[in-house]
Amino acid sequence: MTDGDGAPGGGRPAGARPRPRSRPGPLTAQQRLLNQIAAQFAERAPRGTPPLWVTSLARSVEHQHRLRALGYTALLPSSHCVGYAADIEMTWFRRFGAHRPLQEVLLDWQASGDVNVIDEGQAWHVCLRPGVSYGSRLVPAPLTAG
C-alpha cells in the first residue's frame, strides 16, 4: 500500500522525486535481477511484509549533483548513471521484522559473485556485475573450490 506518492506506507525519502513511467519493453538485466531478488525476499520475509522497495534506479548526472547538494554520497561517475545500480530500502523494513531476510538475500547474491552490495545505512546499493546474465539458468552455476 502506498501513501499516494509512490512510497510504501511512509512517505518519499528526501531527494526522491516522482519519475515518469517508461514504456513496456524487454526487461533489462537490472530488472530481471531485481525481480529475482524481490521473489526471494517475498519467500523469506515474514507474512504481511510489503514487497521489495527499490528507492532508486537509473539517474542522470544532474540528479547525482542534486543528491550531492542534499548531502547524500552521490559519486561521479556512478553506476546509477549507466543503469548498473539500484538502491533498495532497508531501514523501512525493520518495522516488519523483514530487514534481516532482505540482508540475507542481498548478501547471498553478493556471495554468488553476481552483484556488489554496499550497506549505505537506510538503503543498500546493489550493483550488477557486467557480463552476468540474470535470466533463467538451465543448470546450476559451477561451484568454485575454496
Name the grid cell of 75.
559519486
Phi-psi region of 11 (alpha: psi -120 to 50; beta: other; left: phi over 0): left
Q: What is the dihedral of CA 56, 109, 118, 145, to 10 degrees?
A: -160
Task: State mean pLDDT over 133-139.
Answer: 43
pLDDT, tens digit, 9 for 90 and up, residues 102-125: 999 999 999 998 899 989 888 998
What is the pLDDT at residue 23?
Answer: 59
- Judge whether 87 and 118 are in contact, CB under 8 Å: no
Q: Which residues sit opposite 117 in a β-bridge?
A: 126
pLDDT, tens digit, 9 for 90 and up, residues 1-39: 333 344 555 554 545 555 555 556 777 888 889 999 999
What is the pLDDT at residue 146?
Answer: 52
Mean per-residue pLDDT over the chain, rounded: 78
Distance CA 122, CA 67 (A): 15
Name the grid cell of 8.
510504501
Higher pLDDT, 88 or 72: 88
Q: What is the pTM of this model?
A: 0.69
Which residue spans within 34-134 are E strands per DSSP? Answer: 54-56, 85-89, 115-119, 123-128
Q: Where are the domains of the chain?
A: 29-128
Name the grid cell of 25.
519493453
Q: Answer yes or no: is pLDDT of 93 > 90.
A: yes
Q: Answer yes or no: is pLDDT of 40 > 90.
A: yes
Distance CA 99, CA 117 (A): 15
